[in-house]
Amino acid sequence: MINYNFKNKVVLVTGSSRGIGKEIASCFLKSGAIVVMTGRKITTNSNLKNQLKNYKNMFVLYDIDFKNLEEITKLYEFIFKKFKTLNILVNNAGETLVKKATDININEYDNLFNINIKSLFFLSSSFAKNIMRQKNKGVIVNISSQVAHVGGPLRSIYSASKGAVNSLTRSLALEWASKKIRVVAVSPTFTKTEMMKNSSKNIEFKKMIKTIPAGRPATVNEIASAVLYLSSDEAEIITGEVLRVDGGYSIK
Protein backbone atom coordinates (compact mmCIF):
# COMPACT_ATOMS: atom_id res chain seq x y z
CA MET A 1 0.00 0.00 0.00
CA ILE A 2 1.17 3.53 -0.80
CA ASN A 3 2.12 5.52 2.29
CA TYR A 4 -0.57 8.20 2.45
CA ASN A 5 -0.49 10.85 5.15
CA PHE A 6 -3.79 11.30 6.98
CA LYS A 7 -2.28 12.70 10.16
CA ASN A 8 -4.75 14.93 12.07
CA LYS A 9 -7.61 13.71 9.88
CA VAL A 10 -10.68 12.26 11.60
CA VAL A 11 -12.29 9.39 9.70
CA LEU A 12 -15.58 7.57 10.28
CA VAL A 13 -15.72 4.04 8.84
CA THR A 14 -19.11 2.38 9.26
CA GLY A 15 -19.44 -1.38 9.50
CA SER A 16 -15.79 -1.79 10.44
CA SER A 17 -15.77 -4.70 12.88
CA ARG A 18 -14.63 -7.14 10.20
CA GLY A 19 -13.87 -7.70 6.53
CA ILE A 20 -13.51 -4.77 4.14
CA GLY A 21 -14.50 -2.17 6.74
CA LYS A 22 -11.93 -3.37 9.25
CA GLU A 23 -9.18 -3.28 6.61
CA ILE A 24 -10.16 0.23 5.52
CA ALA A 25 -10.06 1.43 9.13
CA SER A 26 -6.71 -0.31 9.74
CA CYS A 27 -5.16 1.30 6.66
CA PHE A 28 -6.31 4.75 7.75
CA LEU A 29 -4.79 4.10 11.18
CA LYS A 30 -1.49 3.07 9.56
CA SER A 31 -1.60 6.35 7.66
CA GLY A 32 -1.90 8.40 10.84
CA ALA A 33 -5.63 9.10 10.95
CA ILE A 34 -7.90 9.09 13.97
CA VAL A 35 -10.61 6.56 13.17
CA VAL A 36 -14.13 6.07 14.53
CA MET A 37 -15.15 2.47 13.88
CA THR A 38 -18.78 1.44 14.14
CA GLY A 39 -20.72 -1.81 14.32
CA ARG A 40 -23.49 -3.54 16.21
CA LYS A 41 -21.63 -4.66 19.43
CA ILE A 42 -18.22 -3.58 18.18
CA THR A 43 -17.22 -2.34 21.66
CA THR A 44 -17.28 -5.91 22.98
CA ASN A 45 -15.09 -7.24 20.15
CA SER A 46 -11.99 -8.18 22.15
CA ASN A 47 -10.31 -9.75 19.12
CA LEU A 48 -10.57 -6.48 17.20
CA LYS A 49 -9.23 -4.49 20.16
CA ASN A 50 -6.25 -6.81 20.37
CA GLN A 51 -5.53 -6.44 16.65
CA LEU A 52 -5.53 -2.64 17.00
CA LYS A 53 -3.56 -2.43 20.25
CA ASN A 54 -0.64 -0.67 18.53
CA TYR A 55 -2.94 2.26 17.71
CA LYS A 56 -3.96 3.14 21.25
CA ASN A 57 -5.73 6.53 21.49
CA MET A 58 -6.03 6.69 17.67
CA PHE A 59 -9.32 4.83 17.34
CA VAL A 60 -12.74 4.73 18.96
CA LEU A 61 -15.22 1.84 18.79
CA TYR A 62 -18.86 2.89 18.71
CA ASP A 63 -21.93 0.63 18.90
CA ILE A 64 -24.73 1.58 16.53
CA ASP A 65 -27.64 0.14 14.58
CA PHE A 66 -28.06 2.34 11.52
CA LYS A 67 -31.65 1.25 11.03
CA ASN A 68 -32.45 3.67 13.86
CA LEU A 69 -31.90 7.11 12.31
CA GLU A 70 -31.89 8.81 15.73
CA GLU A 71 -28.64 7.00 16.46
CA ILE A 72 -26.99 8.78 13.52
CA THR A 73 -27.61 12.13 15.23
CA LYS A 74 -26.14 10.78 18.47
CA LEU A 75 -23.10 9.44 16.61
CA TYR A 76 -22.31 12.83 15.09
CA GLU A 77 -22.87 14.57 18.41
CA PHE A 78 -20.35 12.18 19.95
CA ILE A 79 -17.77 12.68 17.19
CA PHE A 80 -17.94 16.48 17.16
CA LYS A 81 -17.89 16.71 20.94
CA LYS A 82 -14.80 14.48 21.14
CA PHE A 83 -12.84 15.50 18.03
CA LYS A 84 -14.43 18.85 17.03
CA THR A 85 -14.45 17.82 13.37
CA LEU A 86 -14.83 14.96 10.88
CA ASN A 87 -12.93 14.96 7.58
CA ILE A 88 -13.76 11.68 5.86
CA LEU A 89 -16.83 9.44 5.90
CA VAL A 90 -16.63 5.89 4.55
CA ASN A 91 -20.10 4.40 4.14
CA ASN A 92 -19.24 0.71 4.31
CA ALA A 93 -22.04 -0.68 6.51
CA GLY A 94 -24.50 -2.74 4.52
CA GLU A 95 -26.30 -6.01 4.16
CA THR A 96 -26.84 -8.47 1.33
CA LEU A 97 -29.62 -10.86 0.44
CA VAL A 98 -29.28 -13.87 -1.84
CA LYS A 99 -32.80 -15.04 -2.54
CA LYS A 100 -35.29 -15.59 -5.35
CA ALA A 101 -37.13 -12.35 -6.12
CA THR A 102 -40.47 -14.12 -5.85
CA ASP A 103 -39.64 -15.24 -2.29
CA ILE A 104 -38.60 -11.85 -0.86
CA ASN A 105 -41.03 -10.40 1.69
CA ILE A 106 -41.68 -6.77 2.60
CA ASN A 107 -39.69 -6.94 5.83
CA GLU A 108 -36.60 -8.23 4.03
CA TYR A 109 -37.01 -5.53 1.39
CA ASP A 110 -37.35 -2.72 3.93
CA ASN A 111 -34.51 -4.05 6.07
CA LEU A 112 -32.05 -4.11 3.18
CA PHE A 113 -32.95 -0.70 1.76
CA ASN A 114 -32.96 0.88 5.22
CA ILE A 115 -29.33 -0.06 5.85
CA ASN A 116 -27.94 0.07 2.30
CA ILE A 117 -29.38 3.38 1.11
CA LYS A 118 -31.56 5.15 3.71
CA SER A 119 -28.96 5.23 6.48
CA LEU A 120 -26.19 5.98 3.95
CA PHE A 121 -28.13 9.00 2.71
CA PHE A 122 -28.72 10.44 6.18
CA LEU A 123 -25.14 9.72 7.29
CA SER A 124 -23.95 11.64 4.22
CA SER A 125 -26.43 14.48 4.70
CA SER A 126 -25.44 14.95 8.35
CA PHE A 127 -21.77 14.84 7.39
CA ALA A 128 -22.27 17.51 4.72
CA LYS A 129 -24.20 19.81 7.08
CA ASN A 130 -21.34 19.72 9.58
CA ILE A 131 -18.69 20.27 6.91
CA MET A 132 -20.60 23.28 5.57
CA ARG A 133 -21.08 24.67 9.06
CA GLN A 134 -17.34 24.47 9.72
CA LYS A 135 -16.51 25.72 6.19
CA ASN A 136 -14.16 22.79 5.88
CA LYS A 137 -13.34 20.27 3.15
CA GLY A 138 -14.74 16.74 3.27
CA VAL A 139 -14.76 13.43 1.44
CA ILE A 140 -17.46 10.76 1.34
CA VAL A 141 -16.57 7.31 -0.01
CA ASN A 142 -19.48 4.93 -0.54
CA ILE A 143 -18.92 1.19 -0.86
CA SER A 144 -21.00 -0.15 -3.75
CA SER A 145 -20.84 -3.54 -5.52
CA GLN A 146 -20.12 -5.02 -8.92
CA VAL A 147 -23.75 -6.16 -9.19
CA ALA A 148 -24.84 -2.51 -9.20
CA HIS A 149 -23.56 -2.36 -12.79
CA VAL A 150 -24.76 -5.64 -14.28
CA GLY A 151 -27.18 -7.18 -11.78
CA GLY A 152 -27.06 -10.78 -10.71
CA PRO A 153 -29.37 -13.77 -10.20
CA LEU A 154 -30.80 -14.04 -6.66
CA ARG A 155 -29.52 -10.52 -5.91
CA SER A 156 -32.38 -8.40 -7.23
CA ILE A 157 -32.93 -5.99 -4.37
CA TYR A 158 -29.28 -6.03 -3.29
CA SER A 159 -28.15 -4.96 -6.77
CA ALA A 160 -30.95 -2.39 -6.88
CA SER A 161 -29.86 -0.89 -3.54
CA LYS A 162 -26.24 -0.66 -4.72
CA GLY A 163 -27.39 0.86 -8.01
CA ALA A 164 -29.10 3.50 -5.87
CA VAL A 165 -25.78 4.06 -4.04
CA ASN A 166 -24.07 4.78 -7.38
CA SER A 167 -26.80 7.18 -8.48
CA LEU A 168 -26.79 8.94 -5.12
CA THR A 169 -22.99 9.26 -5.28
CA ARG A 170 -23.19 11.13 -8.58
CA SER A 171 -26.08 13.37 -7.52
CA LEU A 172 -24.57 14.38 -4.17
CA ALA A 173 -21.21 15.01 -5.83
CA LEU A 174 -22.85 17.51 -8.18
CA GLU A 175 -24.83 19.14 -5.39
CA TRP A 176 -21.91 19.54 -3.00
CA ALA A 177 -18.91 20.11 -5.29
CA SER A 178 -19.06 23.88 -4.78
CA LYS A 179 -19.05 23.29 -1.01
CA LYS A 180 -15.68 21.46 -1.23
CA ILE A 181 -17.26 18.10 -0.44
CA ARG A 182 -16.24 15.25 -2.73
CA VAL A 183 -18.48 12.20 -3.05
CA VAL A 184 -17.11 9.05 -4.67
CA ALA A 185 -17.70 5.30 -4.55
CA VAL A 186 -15.72 2.08 -4.78
CA SER A 187 -17.42 -0.89 -6.42
CA PRO A 188 -15.73 -4.16 -5.38
CA THR A 189 -15.98 -7.63 -6.82
CA PHE A 190 -16.25 -10.67 -4.54
CA THR A 191 -13.61 -9.99 -1.90
CA LYS A 192 -11.48 -12.43 0.06
CA THR A 193 -12.65 -11.80 3.62
CA GLU A 194 -12.45 -14.24 6.52
CA MET A 195 -16.04 -15.24 5.80
CA MET A 196 -15.20 -15.98 2.17
CA LYS A 197 -12.05 -17.93 3.10
CA ASN A 198 -14.25 -20.29 5.08
CA SER A 199 -16.29 -20.90 1.92
CA SER A 200 -13.33 -21.42 -0.41
CA LYS A 201 -13.98 -25.16 -0.80
CA ASN A 202 -17.66 -24.63 -1.50
CA ILE A 203 -18.79 -25.54 -5.05
CA GLU A 204 -20.98 -22.43 -5.33
CA PHE A 205 -18.03 -20.29 -4.23
CA LYS A 206 -15.85 -21.75 -6.98
CA LYS A 207 -18.56 -21.06 -9.56
CA MET A 208 -18.78 -17.49 -8.31
CA ILE A 209 -15.05 -16.89 -8.70
CA LYS A 210 -15.16 -18.19 -12.28
CA THR A 211 -17.45 -15.28 -13.18
CA ILE A 212 -14.59 -12.82 -12.57
CA PRO A 213 -12.55 -12.33 -15.79
CA ALA A 214 -9.37 -11.82 -13.73
CA GLY A 215 -9.90 -15.28 -12.27
CA ARG A 216 -9.70 -14.40 -8.60
CA PRO A 217 -11.48 -12.38 -5.90
CA ALA A 218 -10.18 -9.04 -4.71
CA THR A 219 -8.25 -8.72 -1.47
CA VAL A 220 -9.44 -6.48 1.32
CA ASN A 221 -6.23 -4.48 0.92
CA GLU A 222 -6.99 -3.79 -2.74
CA ILE A 223 -10.37 -2.36 -1.77
CA ALA A 224 -8.90 -0.35 1.11
CA SER A 225 -6.14 1.02 -1.14
CA ALA A 226 -8.76 2.34 -3.57
CA VAL A 227 -10.63 4.01 -0.69
CA LEU A 228 -7.49 5.67 0.67
CA TYR A 229 -6.50 6.98 -2.75
CA LEU A 230 -9.92 8.51 -3.37
CA SER A 231 -9.85 10.03 0.13
CA SER A 232 -6.40 11.57 -0.35
CA ASP A 233 -5.36 15.00 -1.60
CA GLU A 234 -3.92 13.27 -4.69
CA ALA A 235 -7.53 12.64 -5.77
CA GLU A 236 -8.78 16.13 -4.97
CA ILE A 237 -10.16 16.73 -8.47
CA ILE A 238 -12.11 13.44 -8.50
CA THR A 239 -15.77 13.53 -7.52
CA GLY A 240 -18.89 11.71 -8.65
CA GLU A 241 -16.89 8.73 -9.86
CA VAL A 242 -17.59 5.07 -9.10
CA LEU A 243 -14.26 3.20 -9.18
CA ARG A 244 -14.74 -0.43 -10.19
CA VAL A 245 -12.34 -2.75 -8.41
CA ASP A 246 -13.81 -5.89 -9.90
CA GLY A 247 -11.32 -7.74 -12.09
CA GLY A 248 -13.32 -6.88 -15.21
CA TYR A 249 -16.60 -8.35 -13.93
CA SER A 250 -18.75 -5.36 -14.90
CA ILE A 251 -17.32 -5.01 -18.42
CA LYS A 252 -17.26 -8.66 -19.48
Q: Quick check: 240 and 170 in contact, CB under 8 A?
A: yes
Q: Is 109 a catalytic residue?
A: no
C-alpha count within 13 angstroms, C-beta hemisphere, residue 56: 3
Residue 81: name the closest of 108, 62, 104 by CA: 62
Let me know: does 143 contact 91? Beta carbons within 8 Å: yes
Q: What whole-number distance in Å separates Cα of residue 81 and Cα of residue 66?
A: 20
Please tell me which residue in 62, 158, 229, 249 is annotated as part of the active site.
158
Residue 209 CA to residue 206 CA, distance in Å, equals 5
Listed in sequence order, the DSSP H helices in the chain are 19-30, 46-51, 70-83, 106-113, 119-134, 147-150, 156-176, 194-197, 203-210, 220-231
* Separation of alpha carbons 124 and 210, rounded Å: 35
Q: Could you count the other beta carbons within 10 Å of the beta carbon of residue 241?
A: 17
**113 phi, psi to nearest 5 deg:** -70, -30
Beta partners for 63? 39
Secondary structure (DSSP) of 228-248 = HHHHSGGGTT--S-EEEESTT
Catalytic residues: 158
